[in-house]
Amino acid sequence: MTNKFFAMLGMAMRAGKVSSGEFIVKKSIKSGRARLVIIASDASDNTKKSIINSCDFYKVKNITASTMEEIGSCIGKAPRAVVAIEDNNFAKAVMEKSIS
């Protein structure tokens, strides 16, 4: 992942458009607020499967990126396995940065 990816994720967090942690992210997916879910590459297999199944069922885009440590530090929290971006513009920008 590029520094721009982490910068954009941090910016979304400061704007209040990010939820983190498995339980809160699942709630965000089910309520329709989540626009993009980012799953840490070192998250447990059960967590990955559970989140991906929820994303598929509710038709929410998801990507696997980085580590729990890096994701947590860029949003200013402890290591996180999953985060959800709840804004279309931030989700689009983070997707673009994850590809480049």
pLDDT at 65: 86
Low-confidence ranges of the chain (pLDDT < 70): 1, 100
pLDDT at 1: 56
pLDDT at 96: 86
pLDDT at 59: 96
Rounded CA-CA distance 29/22 in Å is: 10
pLDDT at 41: 94
51-88 exposure pattern, b = at least 16 Cβ within 10 A, e = fewer: beebbeeeebebbebbebebbbbbbeeeebbbbbbbbe
pLDDT at 14: 95
pLDDT at 42: 94
Fold (topology level) of 3-99:
60s Ribosomal Protein L30; Chain: A; (3.30.1330)
pLDDT at 98: 79
Rounded CA-CA distance 49/47 in Å is: 6
Reduce the DSSP state of residue 20 to 3 states and report it: strand
